[in-house]
Chains A and B, each alone.
Chain A
Amino acid sequence: MGLLSWSRKKSPWIFHVNAASCNGCDIELVASLTPRFDVERLGVQLVPSPRHADVLVVTGTANALMRERLKTIYEQMPEPKYVVAVGACALGGGVYQECYNVTNGIDKVIPVDLYIPGCPPRPEAIMYGILKLLGIAPEKELEPALEEEIVGAGASK
Protein backbone atom coordinates (compact mmCIF):
# COMPACT_ATOMS: atom_id res chain seq x y z
CA MET A 1 0.00 0.00 0.00
CA GLY A 2 1.18 3.55 -0.72
CA LEU A 3 2.65 5.84 1.89
CA LEU A 4 -0.50 7.94 1.96
CA SER A 5 -2.79 4.98 2.62
CA TRP A 6 -0.48 3.63 5.27
CA SER A 7 -0.37 6.94 7.11
CA ARG A 8 -4.11 7.39 6.87
CA LYS A 9 -4.64 3.99 8.34
CA LYS A 10 -2.47 4.75 11.32
CA SER A 11 -4.01 8.13 11.96
CA PRO A 12 -7.65 8.28 10.97
CA TRP A 13 -9.10 11.75 10.82
CA ILE A 14 -12.68 11.82 11.91
CA PHE A 15 -15.48 14.23 11.18
CA HIS A 16 -18.41 13.96 13.50
CA VAL A 17 -21.97 14.79 12.46
CA ASN A 18 -24.86 14.99 14.87
CA ALA A 19 -27.79 14.13 12.64
CA ALA A 20 -30.69 14.91 14.97
CA SER A 21 -29.52 12.94 17.97
CA CYS A 22 -30.26 13.28 21.65
CA ASN A 23 -26.56 14.04 22.24
CA GLY A 24 -26.07 10.83 24.23
CA CYS A 25 -23.87 9.19 21.61
CA ASP A 26 -22.14 12.48 20.92
CA ILE A 27 -21.06 12.99 24.50
CA GLU A 28 -19.77 9.43 24.68
CA LEU A 29 -17.85 10.03 21.46
CA VAL A 30 -16.39 13.26 22.83
CA ALA A 31 -15.69 11.49 26.12
CA SER A 32 -13.43 9.12 24.22
CA LEU A 33 -11.14 12.10 23.64
CA THR A 34 -10.83 12.84 27.32
CA PRO A 35 -7.93 11.59 29.42
CA ARG A 36 -9.63 8.49 30.72
CA PHE A 37 -10.02 6.90 27.30
CA ASP A 38 -7.79 9.15 25.26
CA VAL A 39 -8.47 7.97 21.74
CA GLU A 40 -5.91 10.48 20.45
CA ARG A 41 -3.04 8.30 21.66
CA LEU A 42 -4.13 5.80 19.02
CA GLY A 43 -3.83 8.39 16.30
CA VAL A 44 -7.51 9.22 16.01
CA GLN A 45 -8.20 12.91 15.57
CA LEU A 46 -11.34 15.00 15.22
CA VAL A 47 -11.17 17.46 12.34
CA PRO A 48 -13.31 20.55 11.77
CA SER A 49 -14.17 19.96 8.13
CA PRO A 50 -15.33 16.97 6.08
CA ARG A 51 -12.81 17.87 3.38
CA HIS A 52 -9.99 16.75 5.65
CA ALA A 53 -11.64 13.64 7.00
CA ASP A 54 -11.19 9.92 6.33
CA VAL A 55 -13.98 8.72 8.51
CA LEU A 56 -17.44 10.20 8.96
CA VAL A 57 -18.98 9.37 12.30
CA VAL A 58 -22.72 9.88 12.37
CA THR A 59 -25.06 9.79 15.33
CA GLY A 60 -28.77 10.36 15.43
CA THR A 61 -31.91 9.80 13.48
CA ALA A 62 -31.22 11.87 10.33
CA ASN A 63 -34.51 13.75 10.43
CA ALA A 64 -35.98 15.53 7.45
CA LEU A 65 -33.92 18.67 8.00
CA MET A 66 -30.66 16.79 8.45
CA ARG A 67 -30.86 14.33 5.57
CA GLU A 68 -29.74 16.77 2.90
CA ARG A 69 -27.01 18.11 5.12
CA LEU A 70 -25.74 14.60 5.74
CA LYS A 71 -25.64 13.86 2.03
CA THR A 72 -23.80 17.11 1.33
CA ILE A 73 -21.22 16.39 3.98
CA TYR A 74 -20.70 12.87 2.66
CA GLU A 75 -20.17 14.22 -0.84
CA GLN A 76 -17.65 16.75 0.40
CA MET A 77 -15.38 14.05 1.80
CA PRO A 78 -12.52 12.92 -0.42
CA GLU A 79 -11.98 9.25 -1.26
CA PRO A 80 -11.23 6.87 0.34
CA LYS A 81 -13.89 7.48 2.92
CA TYR A 82 -15.63 5.41 5.52
CA VAL A 83 -18.87 5.98 7.37
CA VAL A 84 -19.52 4.82 10.89
CA ALA A 85 -23.02 4.79 12.31
CA VAL A 86 -22.97 5.16 16.07
CA GLY A 87 -25.87 4.33 18.32
CA ALA A 88 -29.27 2.72 18.00
CA CYS A 89 -30.79 5.73 16.27
CA ALA A 90 -28.25 5.77 13.46
CA LEU A 91 -28.58 2.01 13.09
CA GLY A 92 -32.30 1.74 12.67
CA GLY A 93 -34.11 4.71 14.15
CA GLY A 94 -33.67 3.59 17.74
CA VAL A 95 -36.52 4.43 20.01
CA TYR A 96 -37.93 6.83 17.39
CA GLN A 97 -38.60 4.24 14.77
CA GLU A 98 -41.58 5.13 12.62
CA CYS A 99 -41.85 8.68 13.98
CA TYR A 100 -43.03 11.05 11.31
CA ASN A 101 -39.83 13.00 10.99
CA VAL A 102 -37.03 10.43 11.26
CA THR A 103 -35.20 8.06 8.96
CA ASN A 104 -35.02 4.50 10.17
CA GLY A 105 -31.27 4.27 10.03
CA ILE A 106 -28.81 6.49 8.24
CA ASP A 107 -27.87 3.76 5.80
CA LYS A 108 -30.98 4.83 3.94
CA VAL A 109 -29.29 8.16 3.30
CA ILE A 110 -25.59 7.36 2.84
CA PRO A 111 -23.66 4.07 2.61
CA VAL A 112 -22.42 2.85 5.97
CA ASP A 113 -19.31 0.76 6.58
CA LEU A 114 -19.53 0.09 10.29
CA TYR A 115 -22.32 -0.02 12.83
CA ILE A 116 -21.70 0.51 16.53
CA PRO A 117 -24.77 -0.46 18.55
CA GLY A 118 -25.68 0.91 21.95
CA CYS A 119 -27.85 3.55 23.47
CA PRO A 120 -25.41 5.11 23.82
CA PRO A 121 -22.40 2.88 23.17
CA ARG A 122 -19.62 3.25 25.70
CA PRO A 123 -16.52 5.22 24.70
CA GLU A 124 -14.55 1.97 24.68
CA ALA A 125 -17.05 0.45 22.28
CA ILE A 126 -16.84 3.44 19.96
CA MET A 127 -13.06 3.34 20.00
CA TYR A 128 -13.00 -0.38 19.37
CA GLY A 129 -15.39 0.01 16.49
CA ILE A 130 -13.32 2.66 14.78
CA LEU A 131 -10.12 0.72 15.23
CA LYS A 132 -11.77 -2.39 13.88
CA LEU A 133 -12.95 -0.48 10.83
CA LEU A 134 -9.40 0.48 10.06
CA GLY A 135 -8.14 -3.03 10.66
CA ILE A 136 -5.93 -1.83 13.47
CA ALA A 137 -7.71 -3.57 16.31
CA PRO A 138 -6.71 -7.17 15.68
CA GLU A 139 -3.11 -6.34 14.77
CA LYS A 140 -0.46 -7.33 17.25
CA GLU A 141 0.98 -3.83 17.25
CA LEU A 142 -1.18 -2.91 20.19
CA GLU A 143 0.31 -3.86 23.51
CA PRO A 144 -1.60 -6.80 24.96
CA ALA A 145 -2.62 -4.79 28.01
CA LEU A 146 -4.06 -2.05 25.83
CA GLU A 147 -5.90 -4.46 23.63
CA GLU A 148 -7.32 -6.16 26.68
CA GLU A 149 -8.46 -2.81 27.99
CA ILE A 150 -10.29 -1.95 24.78
CA VAL A 151 -11.53 -5.34 23.69
CA GLY A 152 -12.25 -6.64 27.16
CA ALA A 153 -14.16 -3.56 28.30
CA GLY A 154 -16.17 -3.34 25.10
CA ALA A 155 -17.08 -7.01 25.14
CA SER A 156 -17.90 -7.63 28.77
CA LYS A 157 -19.94 -4.48 29.52
Chain B
Amino acid sequence: MTDSPLDPKSEASAGLMQYSPENLVPFGPVHPSLKEPEYFKLYLEGEKIVQVVPRIGYVHRGIERAAQDRTWVQNIYLFERICGICSFAHSMAYTQTAERLTAFEVPRRARYIRLIIAELERIHSHLLWLGLVGYWTGFDTLFMWVWKDREHILDLFETITGNRVHKSFITISGVRNDLPENIIEPLKKEMKYLTGRVDYYSDLVSTEETLVARTRGVGRIDQDVARRLCPVGPLLRCTGIARDIRKEDPYAAYDELVPDVKTSNQGDIASLLLLRLEEIRESCRLVTDAIEKIPAGNVKLAVPRVIPAGDSVGHIEAPRGELFYFVRSAGGMKPERVKIRTCTMANILTATEMLKGHTLADVPVVLTGMDPCFGCMDRIAVVDVAKGKEWSVRGEELRLHGINWYKPGRQT
Protein backbone atom coordinates (compact mmCIF):
# COMPACT_ATOMS: atom_id res chain seq x y z
CA MET B 1 0.00 0.00 0.00
CA THR B 2 1.34 3.40 -0.93
CA ASP B 3 0.27 6.95 -0.33
CA SER B 4 -0.68 7.44 -3.91
CA PRO B 5 -4.34 8.30 -4.50
CA LEU B 6 -4.22 5.84 -7.39
CA ASP B 7 -3.83 2.98 -4.97
CA PRO B 8 -7.35 1.93 -4.03
CA LYS B 9 -6.11 0.75 -0.65
CA SER B 10 -4.39 3.98 0.31
CA GLU B 11 -5.71 6.51 2.80
CA ALA B 12 -5.62 9.15 0.12
CA SER B 13 -8.12 7.34 -2.02
CA ALA B 14 -10.65 6.79 0.74
CA GLY B 15 -13.76 8.88 0.51
CA LEU B 16 -14.84 10.05 -2.87
CA MET B 17 -12.29 10.04 -5.65
CA GLN B 18 -12.87 12.63 -8.27
CA TYR B 19 -11.75 12.33 -11.80
CA SER B 20 -10.36 15.34 -13.49
CA PRO B 21 -8.78 15.05 -16.90
CA GLU B 22 -5.68 16.97 -15.83
CA ASN B 23 -5.01 15.24 -12.55
CA LEU B 24 -6.61 12.98 -10.02
CA VAL B 25 -7.89 15.07 -7.15
CA PRO B 26 -9.10 13.21 -4.09
CA PHE B 27 -11.85 15.15 -2.32
CA GLY B 28 -12.38 14.47 1.32
CA PRO B 29 -13.50 14.13 3.98
CA VAL B 30 -16.85 13.72 2.29
CA HIS B 31 -18.73 10.64 3.16
CA PRO B 32 -19.93 8.75 0.12
CA SER B 33 -22.82 7.14 1.93
CA LEU B 34 -25.68 9.46 1.21
CA LYS B 35 -29.24 8.70 2.20
CA GLU B 36 -30.67 9.01 -1.27
CA PRO B 37 -29.07 8.33 -4.60
CA GLU B 38 -27.85 11.59 -6.07
CA TYR B 39 -27.40 11.95 -9.76
CA PHE B 40 -24.87 14.73 -9.93
CA LYS B 41 -22.63 15.84 -7.14
CA LEU B 42 -21.40 19.38 -7.65
CA TYR B 43 -18.36 20.58 -5.76
CA LEU B 44 -18.39 24.35 -5.30
CA GLU B 45 -15.58 26.68 -4.42
CA GLY B 46 -17.31 29.91 -3.64
CA GLU B 47 -19.83 30.35 -6.42
CA LYS B 48 -18.04 28.29 -9.04
CA ILE B 49 -18.35 24.60 -9.73
CA VAL B 50 -14.93 22.99 -9.63
CA GLN B 51 -15.79 19.33 -9.93
CA VAL B 52 -18.77 17.23 -10.91
CA VAL B 53 -19.26 13.61 -10.05
CA PRO B 54 -22.21 11.90 -11.70
CA ARG B 55 -23.87 8.91 -10.16
CA ILE B 56 -26.14 7.18 -12.62
CA GLY B 57 -27.95 3.88 -12.43
CA TYR B 58 -31.28 5.31 -11.53
CA VAL B 59 -32.73 3.99 -14.80
CA HIS B 60 -30.73 0.78 -14.76
CA ARG B 61 -33.25 -1.94 -15.46
CA GLY B 62 -31.07 -4.86 -16.44
CA ILE B 63 -31.91 -4.75 -20.13
CA GLU B 64 -28.76 -6.38 -21.45
CA ARG B 65 -29.43 -9.37 -19.24
CA ALA B 66 -33.09 -9.44 -20.22
CA ALA B 67 -32.15 -9.48 -23.90
CA GLN B 68 -30.62 -12.91 -23.46
CA ASP B 69 -34.00 -14.34 -22.48
CA ARG B 70 -35.95 -12.99 -25.42
CA THR B 71 -36.03 -13.92 -29.07
CA TRP B 72 -34.56 -11.74 -31.77
CA VAL B 73 -37.86 -10.08 -32.62
CA GLN B 74 -39.02 -9.77 -29.01
CA ASN B 75 -35.86 -7.82 -28.31
CA ILE B 76 -36.97 -5.13 -30.73
CA TYR B 77 -39.84 -4.35 -28.37
CA LEU B 78 -37.49 -4.46 -25.40
CA PHE B 79 -34.83 -2.17 -26.84
CA GLU B 80 -37.17 0.44 -28.15
CA ARG B 81 -38.30 0.93 -24.57
CA ILE B 82 -34.85 1.88 -23.44
CA CYS B 83 -35.86 5.42 -24.24
CA GLY B 84 -39.20 6.87 -25.22
CA ILE B 85 -37.65 9.70 -27.16
CA CYS B 86 -35.27 7.81 -29.41
CA SER B 87 -37.11 4.52 -29.40
CA PHE B 88 -36.96 3.90 -33.15
CA ALA B 89 -33.24 4.65 -33.12
CA HIS B 90 -32.65 1.87 -30.62
CA SER B 91 -34.73 -0.67 -32.47
CA MET B 92 -33.09 0.31 -35.75
CA ALA B 93 -29.54 0.10 -34.43
CA TYR B 94 -30.23 -3.32 -32.95
CA THR B 95 -31.99 -4.65 -36.04
CA GLN B 96 -29.33 -3.47 -38.42
CA THR B 97 -26.53 -4.88 -36.30
CA ALA B 98 -28.29 -8.24 -36.10
CA GLU B 99 -29.03 -8.20 -39.83
CA ARG B 100 -25.34 -7.81 -40.48
CA LEU B 101 -24.88 -11.40 -39.37
CA THR B 102 -27.29 -12.63 -42.03
CA ALA B 103 -26.99 -12.87 -45.77
CA PHE B 104 -30.20 -11.26 -46.93
CA GLU B 105 -30.53 -7.70 -48.18
CA VAL B 106 -33.12 -5.39 -46.76
CA PRO B 107 -35.45 -4.26 -49.57
CA ARG B 108 -34.81 -0.76 -50.86
CA ARG B 109 -38.29 0.48 -50.07
CA ALA B 110 -37.89 -0.63 -46.46
CA ARG B 111 -34.61 1.26 -46.22
CA TYR B 112 -36.31 4.44 -47.38
CA ILE B 113 -39.10 3.99 -44.88
CA ARG B 114 -36.56 3.45 -42.11
CA LEU B 115 -34.89 6.70 -43.12
CA ILE B 116 -38.18 8.56 -43.05
CA ILE B 117 -39.12 7.37 -39.58
CA ALA B 118 -35.59 7.93 -38.28
CA GLU B 119 -35.54 11.49 -39.54
CA LEU B 120 -39.02 12.19 -38.21
CA GLU B 121 -37.77 10.96 -34.87
CA ARG B 122 -34.79 13.28 -35.07
CA ILE B 123 -37.14 16.19 -35.65
CA HIS B 124 -39.37 15.19 -32.76
CA SER B 125 -36.41 14.68 -30.43
CA HIS B 126 -34.84 18.04 -31.23
CA LEU B 127 -38.18 19.81 -30.87
CA LEU B 128 -38.74 18.13 -27.54
CA TRP B 129 -35.32 19.26 -26.45
CA LEU B 130 -35.90 22.80 -27.59
CA GLY B 131 -39.11 22.91 -25.60
CA LEU B 132 -37.28 21.64 -22.52
CA VAL B 133 -34.64 24.33 -22.91
CA GLY B 134 -37.51 26.80 -22.87
CA TYR B 135 -38.96 25.14 -19.77
CA TRP B 136 -35.70 25.08 -17.81
CA THR B 137 -34.91 28.70 -18.60
CA GLY B 138 -38.38 29.88 -17.60
CA PHE B 139 -39.41 30.52 -21.18
CA ASP B 140 -42.70 28.67 -20.88
CA THR B 141 -44.12 30.13 -24.06
CA LEU B 142 -41.34 28.61 -26.11
CA PHE B 143 -41.98 25.28 -24.42
CA MET B 144 -45.69 25.40 -25.25
CA TRP B 145 -45.25 26.46 -28.85
CA VAL B 146 -42.53 23.96 -29.65
CA TRP B 147 -44.37 21.05 -28.07
CA LYS B 148 -47.48 22.01 -29.98
CA ASP B 149 -45.47 21.83 -33.20
CA ARG B 150 -44.10 18.51 -32.07
CA GLU B 151 -47.64 17.14 -31.99
CA HIS B 152 -47.62 17.31 -35.79
CA ILE B 153 -44.83 14.76 -35.85
CA LEU B 154 -46.55 12.56 -33.30
CA ASP B 155 -49.67 12.57 -35.47
CA LEU B 156 -47.55 11.46 -38.40
CA PHE B 157 -46.11 8.66 -36.30
CA GLU B 158 -49.56 7.57 -35.32
CA THR B 159 -50.81 7.59 -38.90
CA ILE B 160 -47.86 5.67 -40.24
CA THR B 161 -46.99 3.31 -37.40
CA GLY B 162 -49.98 3.22 -35.08
CA ASN B 163 -48.32 4.61 -31.95
CA ARG B 164 -47.07 8.03 -30.95
CA VAL B 165 -44.07 6.93 -28.96
CA HIS B 166 -43.08 3.28 -29.17
CA LYS B 167 -43.61 2.60 -32.80
CA SER B 168 -42.43 -1.03 -33.04
CA PHE B 169 -42.27 -0.36 -36.71
CA ILE B 170 -39.06 -2.13 -37.61
CA THR B 171 -38.56 -5.83 -37.99
CA ILE B 172 -35.69 -8.08 -38.95
CA SER B 173 -35.35 -7.72 -42.73
CA GLY B 174 -37.42 -4.58 -43.15
CA VAL B 175 -40.29 -2.68 -41.64
CA ARG B 176 -43.46 -4.14 -40.28
CA ASN B 177 -45.94 -2.44 -42.61
CA ASP B 178 -45.92 -0.30 -45.68
CA LEU B 179 -46.67 3.41 -45.56
CA PRO B 180 -50.36 4.23 -45.63
CA GLU B 181 -51.85 5.41 -48.89
CA ASN B 182 -52.05 9.15 -49.49
CA ILE B 183 -49.30 9.91 -47.01
CA ILE B 184 -47.10 11.74 -49.48
CA GLU B 185 -48.89 15.09 -49.61
CA PRO B 186 -49.59 15.40 -45.86
CA LEU B 187 -45.98 14.49 -45.11
CA LYS B 188 -44.60 17.08 -47.50
CA LYS B 189 -46.99 19.67 -46.14
CA GLU B 190 -45.86 19.01 -42.57
CA MET B 191 -42.20 19.22 -43.53
CA LYS B 192 -42.81 22.56 -45.20
CA TYR B 193 -44.66 23.82 -42.14
CA LEU B 194 -41.88 22.73 -39.79
CA THR B 195 -39.17 24.27 -41.93
CA GLY B 196 -41.01 27.55 -41.58
CA ARG B 197 -41.16 27.08 -37.82
CA VAL B 198 -37.42 26.41 -37.72
CA ASP B 199 -36.85 29.79 -39.33
CA TYR B 200 -38.97 31.38 -36.64
CA TYR B 201 -37.30 29.56 -33.73
CA SER B 202 -33.81 30.21 -35.05
CA ASP B 203 -34.54 33.88 -35.06
CA LEU B 204 -36.08 33.65 -31.60
CA VAL B 205 -33.20 31.87 -29.89
CA SER B 206 -30.65 34.27 -31.35
CA THR B 207 -32.47 37.41 -30.34
CA GLU B 208 -34.42 36.72 -27.16
CA GLU B 209 -32.31 38.46 -24.53
CA THR B 210 -32.64 36.19 -21.55
CA LEU B 211 -32.11 33.08 -23.60
CA VAL B 212 -29.04 34.57 -25.21
CA ALA B 213 -27.64 35.67 -21.85
CA ARG B 214 -28.12 32.19 -20.46
CA THR B 215 -26.66 30.31 -23.37
CA ARG B 216 -23.99 32.36 -25.10
CA GLY B 217 -20.53 31.40 -23.86
CA VAL B 218 -22.06 28.94 -21.43
CA GLY B 219 -20.77 25.40 -21.30
CA ARG B 220 -18.08 26.03 -23.85
CA ILE B 221 -16.01 23.08 -25.04
CA ASP B 222 -13.44 22.80 -27.78
CA GLN B 223 -11.91 20.18 -30.02
CA ASP B 224 -9.33 19.18 -27.42
CA VAL B 225 -12.05 18.18 -25.02
CA ALA B 226 -13.80 16.38 -27.85
CA ARG B 227 -10.77 14.33 -28.75
CA ARG B 228 -10.04 13.41 -25.17
CA LEU B 229 -13.52 12.62 -23.90
CA CYS B 230 -15.10 11.35 -27.13
CA PRO B 231 -18.58 12.90 -27.06
CA VAL B 232 -21.01 12.14 -29.85
CA GLY B 233 -23.75 13.84 -31.81
CA PRO B 234 -24.50 17.57 -31.75
CA LEU B 235 -22.24 17.95 -28.71
CA LEU B 236 -19.34 16.82 -30.87
CA ARG B 237 -20.40 18.78 -33.90
CA CYS B 238 -20.72 22.05 -32.02
CA THR B 239 -16.94 22.06 -31.60
CA GLY B 240 -16.49 22.05 -35.34
CA ILE B 241 -15.73 18.37 -35.84
CA ALA B 242 -17.95 17.27 -38.70
CA ARG B 243 -18.67 13.66 -37.80
CA ASP B 244 -22.00 12.04 -38.40
CA ILE B 245 -22.52 8.30 -38.67
CA ARG B 246 -25.13 8.80 -41.40
CA LYS B 247 -22.40 10.10 -43.63
CA GLU B 248 -19.42 8.10 -42.37
CA ASP B 249 -21.09 4.72 -42.24
CA PRO B 250 -24.27 5.00 -44.31
CA TYR B 251 -27.13 2.75 -43.33
CA ALA B 252 -30.83 2.63 -44.28
CA ALA B 253 -31.07 4.85 -47.37
CA TYR B 254 -28.39 7.37 -46.39
CA ASP B 255 -26.09 6.11 -49.13
CA GLU B 256 -28.56 7.43 -51.66
CA LEU B 257 -29.88 10.43 -49.72
CA VAL B 258 -26.74 11.90 -48.23
CA PRO B 259 -27.28 14.28 -45.31
CA ASP B 260 -25.47 17.56 -45.10
CA VAL B 261 -23.59 17.50 -41.80
CA LYS B 262 -24.08 20.68 -39.81
CA THR B 263 -21.43 22.00 -37.45
CA SER B 264 -20.71 25.04 -35.43
CA ASN B 265 -17.40 26.11 -33.98
CA GLN B 266 -18.60 28.09 -30.97
CA GLY B 267 -18.90 25.07 -28.70
CA ASP B 268 -21.43 26.64 -26.34
CA ILE B 269 -25.11 26.06 -25.61
CA ALA B 270 -26.22 28.93 -27.87
CA SER B 271 -24.53 27.23 -30.79
CA LEU B 272 -26.16 23.93 -29.82
CA LEU B 273 -29.55 25.61 -30.07
CA LEU B 274 -28.91 26.79 -33.59
CA LEU B 275 -27.19 23.57 -34.56
CA ARG B 276 -30.09 21.38 -33.57
CA LEU B 277 -32.50 23.69 -35.37
CA GLU B 278 -30.39 23.36 -38.49
CA GLU B 279 -30.50 19.61 -38.09
CA ILE B 280 -34.29 19.77 -37.99
CA ARG B 281 -34.23 21.71 -41.21
CA GLU B 282 -31.96 19.15 -42.83
CA SER B 283 -34.18 16.32 -41.60
CA CYS B 284 -37.22 17.97 -43.16
CA ARG B 285 -35.36 18.12 -46.43
CA LEU B 286 -34.34 14.46 -46.19
CA VAL B 287 -37.88 13.33 -45.46
CA THR B 288 -39.26 15.33 -48.38
CA ASP B 289 -36.58 13.90 -50.64
CA ALA B 290 -37.20 10.38 -49.42
CA ILE B 291 -40.94 10.47 -49.87
CA GLU B 292 -40.57 11.80 -53.39
CA LYS B 293 -37.97 9.27 -54.45
CA ILE B 294 -39.14 6.21 -52.55
CA PRO B 295 -39.02 3.14 -54.81
CA ALA B 296 -41.78 0.60 -55.07
CA GLY B 297 -41.29 -2.88 -53.75
CA ASN B 298 -41.93 -5.03 -50.75
CA VAL B 299 -41.07 -3.86 -47.28
CA LYS B 300 -39.85 -7.03 -45.63
CA LEU B 301 -38.75 -10.55 -46.41
CA ALA B 302 -39.73 -13.88 -44.98
CA VAL B 303 -36.75 -14.72 -42.82
CA PRO B 304 -35.91 -17.62 -40.53
CA ARG B 305 -36.14 -17.14 -36.81
CA VAL B 306 -32.49 -17.86 -36.14
CA ILE B 307 -29.63 -15.49 -36.78
CA PRO B 308 -26.38 -17.17 -37.86
CA ALA B 309 -23.60 -17.30 -35.29
CA GLY B 310 -21.05 -14.53 -35.10
CA ASP B 311 -20.19 -11.15 -33.61
CA SER B 312 -21.45 -7.95 -35.12
CA VAL B 313 -20.92 -4.29 -34.32
CA GLY B 314 -23.06 -1.53 -35.66
CA HIS B 315 -23.96 2.05 -34.97
CA ILE B 316 -26.35 4.72 -36.15
CA GLU B 317 -26.70 8.44 -35.73
CA ALA B 318 -29.54 8.66 -33.23
CA PRO B 319 -30.88 12.15 -32.49
CA ARG B 320 -28.41 12.50 -29.65
CA GLY B 321 -25.42 10.99 -31.35
CA GLU B 322 -23.72 7.72 -32.09
CA LEU B 323 -25.71 4.80 -30.76
CA PHE B 324 -23.69 1.61 -30.70
CA TYR B 325 -24.78 -2.02 -30.53
CA PHE B 326 -22.66 -5.14 -30.22
CA VAL B 327 -24.50 -8.36 -30.94
CA ARG B 328 -23.21 -11.87 -30.48
CA SER B 329 -25.22 -14.74 -31.81
CA ALA B 330 -24.61 -18.40 -31.02
CA GLY B 331 -26.79 -19.42 -33.96
CA GLY B 332 -29.94 -19.74 -31.88
CA MET B 333 -33.29 -18.06 -31.48
CA LYS B 334 -32.06 -15.71 -28.79
CA PRO B 335 -28.97 -13.53 -28.77
CA GLU B 336 -26.12 -14.60 -26.57
CA ARG B 337 -25.02 -11.10 -25.75
CA VAL B 338 -26.17 -7.63 -26.67
CA LYS B 339 -24.14 -4.67 -25.54
CA ILE B 340 -25.53 -1.18 -25.90
CA ARG B 341 -23.69 2.08 -25.60
CA THR B 342 -26.17 4.94 -25.51
CA CYS B 343 -25.32 8.43 -26.67
CA THR B 344 -25.82 9.94 -23.26
CA MET B 345 -23.28 7.57 -21.70
CA ALA B 346 -20.72 8.88 -24.15
CA ASN B 347 -21.57 12.49 -23.34
CA ILE B 348 -21.65 12.49 -19.55
CA LEU B 349 -17.94 13.15 -19.10
CA THR B 350 -18.12 16.02 -21.56
CA ALA B 351 -21.13 17.44 -19.75
CA THR B 352 -19.26 17.41 -16.44
CA GLU B 353 -16.44 19.23 -18.18
CA MET B 354 -18.92 21.79 -19.49
CA LEU B 355 -20.19 22.51 -15.98
CA LYS B 356 -16.84 23.46 -14.53
CA GLY B 357 -16.36 27.13 -13.87
CA HIS B 358 -20.08 27.86 -13.94
CA THR B 359 -22.46 28.74 -11.17
CA LEU B 360 -25.46 26.80 -9.92
CA ALA B 361 -27.74 28.99 -11.99
CA ASP B 362 -26.20 27.60 -15.16
CA VAL B 363 -26.56 23.96 -14.22
CA PRO B 364 -30.04 23.40 -15.69
CA VAL B 365 -29.10 24.94 -19.01
CA VAL B 366 -25.81 23.10 -19.36
CA LEU B 367 -27.20 19.71 -18.37
CA THR B 368 -30.17 20.13 -20.68
CA GLY B 369 -27.79 21.30 -23.38
CA MET B 370 -26.21 17.90 -23.62
CA ASP B 371 -29.72 16.56 -24.33
CA PRO B 372 -29.58 13.85 -21.74
CA CYS B 373 -31.74 10.83 -22.08
CA PHE B 374 -32.32 10.44 -18.38
CA GLY B 375 -34.12 12.51 -15.80
CA CYS B 376 -30.84 13.53 -14.25
CA MET B 377 -32.24 16.75 -13.03
CA ASP B 378 -34.36 15.24 -10.35
CA ARG B 379 -31.92 15.50 -7.53
CA ILE B 380 -28.52 17.10 -7.38
CA ALA B 381 -26.12 17.17 -4.45
CA VAL B 382 -24.08 20.27 -3.86
CA VAL B 383 -20.91 20.31 -1.80
CA ASP B 384 -19.31 23.47 -0.57
CA VAL B 385 -15.67 22.47 -0.58
CA ALA B 386 -14.38 25.25 1.63
CA LYS B 387 -17.01 24.80 4.32
CA GLY B 388 -17.23 21.02 3.96
CA LYS B 389 -20.99 21.38 3.87
CA GLU B 390 -23.26 19.27 1.71
CA TRP B 391 -26.89 19.63 0.78
CA SER B 392 -29.39 18.37 -1.79
CA VAL B 393 -31.38 20.37 -4.26
CA ARG B 394 -34.19 19.28 -6.45
CA GLY B 395 -33.94 20.07 -10.16
CA GLU B 396 -37.00 22.29 -9.82
CA GLU B 397 -35.26 24.40 -7.20
CA LEU B 398 -32.28 24.86 -9.49
CA ARG B 399 -34.59 25.81 -12.30
CA LEU B 400 -36.21 28.56 -10.26
CA HIS B 401 -32.84 29.65 -8.91
CA GLY B 402 -31.55 30.00 -12.46
CA ILE B 403 -34.56 31.97 -13.62
CA ASN B 404 -34.23 34.44 -10.76
CA TRP B 405 -30.47 34.71 -11.21
CA TYR B 406 -30.85 35.83 -14.77
CA LYS B 407 -33.78 38.21 -14.29
CA PRO B 408 -33.01 41.45 -16.09
CA GLY B 409 -31.61 44.06 -13.75
CA ARG B 410 -30.11 41.60 -11.31
CA GLN B 411 -26.38 41.81 -10.75
CA THR B 412 -24.72 38.62 -11.98
Contacts and interface: CB of A to CB of B under 8 A. Distances in A.
A76 to B, nearest CB: 11
Contacts of B91: none
Given A22-B83, A36-B148, A96 B63 contact: yes
B78 interface: yes
Contacts of B36: 68-69, 72
Interface string A73-86: 00000000000000
A26 B166 contact: no
A113 B311 CA distance: 47
A88 to B, nearest CB: 9
A65 B34 CA distance: 12
A102 B147 contact: no
Nearest to B396: A48
Contacts, number: 101
B81 interface: yes
Interface in A41-67: 48-49, 60-61, 63, 65-66
Contact of A22 (B62, B81, B164, B396): B81
Give the interface residue-count category, chain B.
Answer: 35 or more
A135 B91 CA distance: 40
Interface in A78-113: 94-96, 98-102
A96 B61 contact: yes
A35 interface: yes
Contacts of B1: none
A28 B63 contact: no
B84 interface: yes
Contacts of B58: 20, 63, 65-66
Contacts of B373: 23
A120 interface: yes
Contact of A99 (B63, B154, B164, B394): B63
Contacts of B59: 20-22, 60, 63
Contact of B62 (A48, A49, A100): A100
Interface of A: 18, 20-28, 30-31, 34-36, 48-49, 60-61, 63, 65-66, 68-69, 72, 94-96, 98-102, 119-120, 122
Which 8 A-B pairs rank lowest in CB-CB distance, beginning with the nearest?
Answer: A24-B84, A48-B396, A99-B62, A34-B147, A23-B84, A101-B62, A100-B62, A24-B165
Given A23-B374, A101-B62, 6 more contacts: A22-B87, A27-B85, A27-B128, A34-B144, A60-B59, A120-B84
Interface of B: 36-37, 57-63, 65-66, 77-78, 81-85, 87, 128, 143-144, 147-148, 151, 154, 164-166, 373-375, 378-379, 394, 396-397, 400
